[in-house]
Amino acid sequence: MWYKPSHWALEPAASSLAPPGKERWSNKDMDPVPPHLRTWSTRNYVAYWISDATNTAVWELASSMLAVGLSWRQALPAIAVGHVIIAIVTVLNGTIGARLHIAFPVINRSSFGFWFSYFSVVSRVILAMFWYGIQTYTGSECVYQMLKAIWPGTARIPNHLPEGANITTVGMMTYFLYWLFQFPFMLVSPQKIRHLFMFKAFIVPCAWLAILIWAMVKAPPSVSLQPKHAEISGSALSWAWLSALNSALGIYATLAVNVSDFTRYATTVQAQYVQLFIIPTVFTLIGFVGIAVTSAGEVLYGETLWDPLKLIDRWDNRAAAFFAAFSFFVATLGTNISANSLSAANDMTVLFPRYINIRRGQIICAILGGWALCPWEILATAPGFLTFMNGYTVFLGPFAGIMVTDYWFVHKCKVDLRAMYDPHGRYRYWNGINWRAVVALLCAVPPSFPGLIYSVNASIYPGNVSHVFDIAWLYGFFTASTVYWTFSKVFPPLETFVDDDHENLEVTSATASLDLKNGTGDEKVAVSSVNHV
């Protein structure tokens, strides 16, 4: 019967790497990607990052730096340096996925331990669902601007919902329309969703370039940008710049951790190396667009409009307003899928591999994140909660640091792929917990808590210790890396080390069946130290 759990159980794939009789620890979407499904080339990663960079959060990032007293000439270097660092970490973690062709939640088991890895997985599922709903609400505002551009009467639709609903009738209508349009993309496989990123990478930059040209024509840079000088100096300026750098690091710190969810589909390991160049380049350019257009809006309308949709709302040209809003519509769609729904789905496949694959996980995210969490309530009544969710970056730096250190410096790229699917394998550590990772997190995360609390509630001032939160990602990354490496050297996890002559695992068929072989090759997923291309 349909209501019985057994009805929804997935058939164990022939490729399952789980031990015999324990197929519930894996499913087709968790297994290494077979050669015929490795479809992401260099241009797809270029399109992917152009797609992710073109969203309202990045647009507003640089502009918000001006609000804390930085000049635009100080804000842009903070963005550039931050994304150079993120690009390096992204490629280091992305290479793991490109070599092994497995997702972040599986890779995580080798560094955190089979059971402790669930800490990062569960927390990321919850966070991704919240942001899915919030991004969907942002998309609904794009729909509103598009409808208002076509039918100006949209702005005059009477509200029949009570004030306590925190959303209007037209707001609920546009939210439902955006959610409904977005939903079919939840059914598209990760191999094919790259076409959406290619489309977005062409449409959105063209539209934003047009908006930039409009801004420079209406308010030349000599008028809009020149007055933007730093309003602070001394130590206040230094901490403001470091805080801006931390904001730049944090905006896509999640993908620096779980980028293997996408690099696992790389045609070759080298295909994802382009991220080193494209990430800092495109994010810095988008940051400049945000500053230039926001500054022009301040000259034209007499107020600072950080939100580009509020700027569009001021336009009289309905055609321009429609196409500009459409570009943000597409931008939000691509970002919500890449950063939220796919991430949540990959994690849910690990939490419930017997019942959830990537498609089912995305559907669950769309329903729970889109409706059960009521994002309009969060945005209207819980700004402190949003600040707290942004503070999740205090964990992301340490997560990234531990993963990079474990794979590249502790295990020196020698890992046992099959053991990542066995709760009693070599990555069991102590009762499924790598205590070295726990100690590293305890050293790296708590020092940022006073500043996080202060950011949520300004009435609680902990003193200068709050500045640690201003550099939370950098502090967390390097502290966790150092502590983890030190304890791994003093107390080496000998049971997890793999010999050079360890067998290799090859994905050989269209059904992703797995055979054990010796030797190396382009189509082999390394179990040990072989660096495949």
Residue with more model confidence, 80 or 252: 80
DSSP 357-377: -HHHHHHHHHHIIIIIT-HHH
* Residue 438 falls inside a structural domain: yes
Give the pLDDT confidence score for residue 303 in this predicted structure.
84
Spell out the residues 6+ positions from residue 125 whose beta carbon is closer than 8 angstroms to its own.
344, 347, 348, 351
**What pLDDT digit, counting tens, does each position of 148-173 carry?**
999 999 999 999 999 889 999 999 99
Q: For residue 38, is pLDDT > 60?
A: yes
Determine whether 316 is exposed, middle or buried from the number of CB atoms within 10 Å of its CB (0-12, 13-18, 19+): exposed
| Coil/strand/helix, residue 426 | helix
Q: Work out how many domains the chain is built from and give that number.
A: 1
Distance between CA atoms of residues 1 and 482, nearest Å: 53
* Residue 533 falls inside a structural domain: no
Range of weakest confidence among 48-52, 82-86, 183-187: 48-52
- Nearest in space to 344 (alpha carbons), one of 358, 323, 328, 326: 358
Mean pLDDT over residues 181-202, rounded? 92
* Domain carrying residue 499: 32-525
Average pLDDT, the chain: 87
- Cβ atoms 98, 274 nearer than 8 A: no
Residue with more model confidence, 479 or 200: 479
Q: For residue 221, is pLDDT > 80?
A: yes
Instruction: State the pLDDT confidence band at 327, using cuts at 50, 70 and 90.
Output: very high
Give the pLDDT confidence score for residue 230 in this predicted structure.
63
Give the pLDDT confidence score for residue 1 in this predicted structure.
64
* Residue 145 falls inside a structural domain: yes
* Residue 57 falls inside a structural domain: yes
The Cα-based distances of 156 to 90, 132, 153, 174, 182 in angstroms read 47, 28, 5, 14, 26
* Token pair recorded at residue 109: 């088991």
Q: For residue 286, is pLDDT > 60?
A: yes
Q: For residue 280, is pLDDT > 90?
A: yes
- Cβ atoms 83, 247 nearer than 8 A: no
Instruction: State the pLDDT confidence band at 507, using cuts at 50, 70 and 90.
Output: very low
* Residue 386 falls inside a structural domain: yes
- Residue 529 phi, psi dihedral angles, 5° rounding: -95, 0
Give the pLDDT confidence score for residue 383 in this predicted structure.
62
Give the pLDDT confidence score for residue 532 in this predicted structure.
36
Mean pLDDT over residues 397-422, rounded? 95
Give the pLDDT confidence score for residue 393 in this predicted structure.
84
* Residue 482 falls inside a structural domain: yes
Mean pLDDT over residues 446-465, rounded? 87
Packed helices 234-250 and 472-490: angle between N→C axes, nearest 10 degrees? 70
Q: For residue 228, is pLDDT > 90?
A: no
Query: 221: domain CATH number?
Result: 1.10.4160.10
DSSP 94-138: HHHHHHH---HHHHHHHHH-TTTHHHHHHHHHHHHHHHHHHHHHH
For tokens 């497995």, the residue is 102
The Cα-based distances of 490 to 480, 484, 485 in angstroms read 15, 10, 9
Mean pLDDT over residues 296-306, rounded? 87
Spell out the residues 6+ positions from residue 183 whose beta carbon is closer than 8 angstroms to its own.
366
* Residue 363 falls inside a structural domain: yes
The DSSP letter of residue 337 is I
Give the pLDDT confidence score for residue 26 in this predicted structure.
79
Give the pLDDT confidence score for residue 15 in this predicted structure.
55
DSSP 416-428: -TGGGG-TTSGGG
- Cβ atoms 278, 45 nearer than 8 A: yes
* Residue 23 falls inside a structural domain: no
Residue with more model confidence, 444 or 23: 444
**The pTM is what?**
0.89
Give the pLDDT confidence score for residue 187 in this predicted structure.
94
Q: For residue 508, is pLDDT > 50?
A: no
Determine whether 455 is exposed, middle or buried from the number of CB atoms within 10 Å of its CB (0-12, 13-18, 19+): middle
